[in-house]
Structure 1
């Protein structure tokens, strides 16, 4: 069977011709084994089981299998040559191919190649996106697990106010936050009001006072040492 004929038949029937022939042969073999089992049961019911009976049944089975194989091998050859075939000079156009231009040239092949390249790139892009999404899902799951652990650790805060009869923790946190913001605003206001030059002058005065005190302490220490030495 020519390759084009085989492809046309497969496309038309939806299955390979040899598979249909195999189904027929398998069905015949099943009928054969069913008949042999019936024959064996009949013989054993009429005659007691013995070596001769078993050998005779086996010979009948072998003979029938040989006959089926030989005749259905001929059937397979006949079917492929005369049934599942298309004459060489007969042009057949399948219904779904009517009106289609199946000729091929360099331009069409290049267009097809470009489309294939485009589809490959799209497939790769989708795979890359799926990979990134899986990574993001994994990171999100880890974050959710961490948040759940912290939620378990801090769950006692939700019941502290009830156990110790204090203000709700949320209200306390809000109050502390407001106070901190107020302190920050006050500090910023004071910093903007103080002149940098005044701060420098104050620092100089502090340094002078510190130097004066250090000098006086040093003098007093020297005098005490001299008095002790004279004594």
Structure 2
């Protein structure tokens, strides 16, 4: 996903965050490198997705315990616990695949249409020697 994305010169996101910004004018104007911004969005949504799936698993586990286990926690080796974990892992994989495709489209849209400066603004921010004006 975002780690596989390429900047304007083919540089991948991880390299771009460690190396000088491939978007120096945009970074100066917005206060953040567009690639770093997209990468942070990816990381946040990925964390939220994992947390949400974990909470679903907890809620289903509590429901099973309340309905069919007399309110007692499921034993460590209860087959229902393992079935629930397997189903939860499958659900997480499905959601992750959908998220990966969507975040790729989001990244392309943001880098091409939102966090890009019009040429006239770039000209105002760029010094004659090619450096970014502060």
Aligned residues between the structures: 96
Kindly tell me: are residues 39 and 2 of structure 1, through their superposed partners in 2, closer, same or farther at Cα, counting changes over 3 Å? closer
Q: State yes or no: 1:41 paired with 2:58.
A: yes
Root mean square deviation, CA, Å: 2.4
Q: 1:44-77: CA deviations, max 9, x gaps?
A: 1223534322211110011111111110111001
Normalised by the length of structure 2, the TM-score is 0.60
Normalised by the length of structure 1, the TM-score is 0.37
Q: State yes or no: 1:31 paired with 2:62.
A: no
Q: State yes or no: 1:51 paired with 2:68.
A: no
TM-superposed deviation, 1:18: 0.8
**Aligned residue runs from structure 1 range 127-146, under 5 A:** none
Structure 1 or 2, whichever has the larger Rg, is 1
Aligned equivalent of 1:86: 117
Structure with higher RCO (Cα < 8 A, 6+ apart):
2
Aligned equivalent of 1:64: 95
Structure 1 segments unaligned to the other structure (5+ residues): 105-231
Q: 1:15-36: CA deviations, max 9, x gaps?
A: 2111111111211112111211
Structure 2 segments unaligned to the other structure (5+ residues): 1-6, 10-21, 65-73, 75-79, 130-134
